[in-house]
Chain A
Amino acid sequence: MLGTEPQVIERYVEDGRVKIVFWPVLNHGNPSVYSTLAAHCAGAQDPAQFWQMHDVFFENQNDLWSATRDYFVQTAVSLGLDQAVFETCYDSPDSLAGVMALDSIRRDRGIFGQPTFDANGLIFAGALPFEQFAAALDNQLAEASP
């Protein structure tokens, strides 16, 4: 969603009408699992840092296929995170279980393709242009208004 995300944030999120939830879809094996784990460990130190690492990963998507533990640690350090705390989180089985649990919930909801979007129950799939995002969000906002 990175392509249209800034426009969605500017028009719908910054005025408080919409909030975005990033829900992991671990469809590509270990690279998917550990990049998501690294982002969650960044968020464990500061939720805003999850979104910082989220942006870094989308902007350097090709690196993730071969990313190692050191790559994620260095990325965390470059964002100003505490290295020791990050490593403890990254190595924790509980952290990994948390990420896997989210992916399990996703499957239980019948979401298998990515990206898939759910706006208050209105589900649409694919990297849609912003205009279609806007139409869907406007429709759901109209329904949500009293």
Chain B
Amino acid sequence: MKPTFLLVLLLAALLLGACGGQQITEPTAENILPVVSETAAPATETSGPVPVETTPSRPPTPTEIPAPTAIEENVEITVVEPTAADPTATVEPTIEVIEPTAVPIISGQTSEGAYFYGNPDAAVTLLDYSDFL
């Protein structure tokens, strides 16, 4: 009867080991099966490298539009229309500088030998017939 008892005891130990050894583990990233979404691309039969799904990059931050600079007042903008003859031609402004006419005021002698003072080409000649006395 002793061997039978030992056999029963062995079976009981096996049963306990089989039932009581299962461990409940918390779900982790490693033990969760991947969920295949319906929109996922179908798996190909080729055994190439698994494509790495990358997260879409962050849309670029919109650059700030610079605030319009202050427009100076009293600035007149003239739109120059291209001419019909040459639509690409630009019209250069013409700046005309008017120099004051220089009138020579000089001292000199007439052809007869008298002394004069003023513009040799003056419109009017004033003859001063005089004596120092």
Interface residues of A (CB under 8 A from B): 1, 8-9, 12-28, 31-32, 35-36, 39-40, 43, 46-48, 50-51, 54, 57-58, 61, 64-65, 98, 101-102, 105-106, 111, 114-120, 137, 140-141, 144-145
Contact = CB atoms under 8 A, between A and B. Distances in A.
A28 to B, nearest CB: 5
Contacts of B131: 24-28, 32, 36, 114-115
B53 interface: no
Interface string B94-133: 0000000001111111101111111111111111111111
Nearest to B131: A25
Closest 5 CB pairs of A and B: A19-B118, A16-B103, A16-B119, A47-B107, A118-B127
Contacts of B121: 16
Given A28-B133, A35-B133, A57-B132, A50 B115 contact: yes
Contacts of A23: 114, 127-130
Given A13-B118, A14-B105, A51-B115, A21 B133 contact: no
A65 B129 contact: no
B30 to A, nearest CB: 107
A28 B133 CA distance: 7
B85 to A, nearest CB: 39
Contacts of A14: 105
A136 B132 CA distance: 24
Nearest to A118: B127
Interface of B: 103-110, 112-133
Contact of A17 (B110, B119, B127): B119
B8 to A, nearest CB: 147
A52 to B, nearest CB: 9
Given A14-B105, A16-B103, A118-B126, A21 B114 contact: yes
Contact of A20 (B104, B109, B118): B118
A23 B132 CA distance: 11
Contact of A25 (B112, B116, B129): B129
B128 A21 contact: yes
14 contacts: A13-B119, A16-B104, A18-B118, A18-B125, A19-B119, A20-B126, A21-B126, A21-B128, A22-B114, A111-B129, A118-B127, A137-B124, A141-B123, A144-B124
